[in-house]
Structure 1
């Protein structure tokens, strides 16, 4: 694998670990040229359903979009990269289990919200506020009251 730091084509695997649920393999690699270390994740490539946007457009499922959104939500929160990767893997597993050729983007957004709710409540509120396009403080209050009122 090519080194992301110096571009050298030769890297060695220093450590290999399977995730707890067996959905992906985590590899620690070391570049033989610059000696820097980095992590890669391997998972099976599967055919995901097309995503139907609000305006009716159909686009290919793009893992990096959900990854970016969740990473932003958990920024500066006590959530590890592995926990985030597990959450994304669970969302993707749910998408595949639907067995549909097309899935509304809103359905994926709701799956992401449920995953964040389980990971970190603050990240959940962050994501929900952007996803649901909150404009007033009472919308935040309603979400918190609805979801966390015990």
Structure 2
């Protein structure tokens, strides 16, 4: 690892620890030439996932886009910022694990809806209204009725 001060490539590791919930390793290093101490992070390099858009175009998966959309759906709900980050991390993990370098945008949308439905019904309705392009009150009512129906089924199976 190159020292940021003197560019020497000889350094020693003073300390290593798990970071980012075990997804990376944080290392504290010391340059053997100038004694400058610096921190490095080591992460597994993941293969990029390509998203196939509705029009057939492709773009690289963008976690920030996912975060932005879910954050908007979760505004003014009981979802904390940390919970949103964890939710997005979970979705990203599912996408990376389940896809073979390519995934349709519709699959991502459905995955988000499936998981939001379990976590927060208000965020689910908000996300569904944008993702499914609701045109009016009827779309909201039918989605609310399906939520209501699944809640009754869950209660009946518990009894």
TM over 0.5: yes
Structure having the larger proportion of residues in helix: 2
Which contiguous aligned blocks of 4+ residues in structure 1 show a shift greater than 4 angstroms?
16-19, 22-25, 42-45
Consecutive unaligned residues in structure 1, runs of 5 or more: 1-15, 26-41
Q: CA RMSD in A?
A: 2.3
Which TM-score applies when normalising by structure 2? 0.65
Match of 2:57 in 1: 57
Offset, 1:119: 2.1
Offset, 1:55: 0.3
Consecutive unaligned residues in structure 2, runs of 5 or more: 1-17, 26-41, 153-159
Match of 2:97 in 1: 97
Offset, 1:93: 1.1
Instruction: State the aligned residue count.
Output: 117
Counting only pairs closer than 5 Å after superposition, residues 61-100 of structure 1 correspond to structure 2 as: 61-100=61-100
Which TM-score applies when normalising by structure 1? 0.69
Larger Rg over CA atoms? 2
CA distance in 2, matches of 1:60, 1:99: 13
- 3-state secondary structure, aligned to 1:79: coil
CA distance in 1, matches of 2:89, 2:57: 25
Counting only pairs closer than 5 Å after superposition, residues 99-114 of structure 1 correspond to structure 2 as: 99-114=99-114
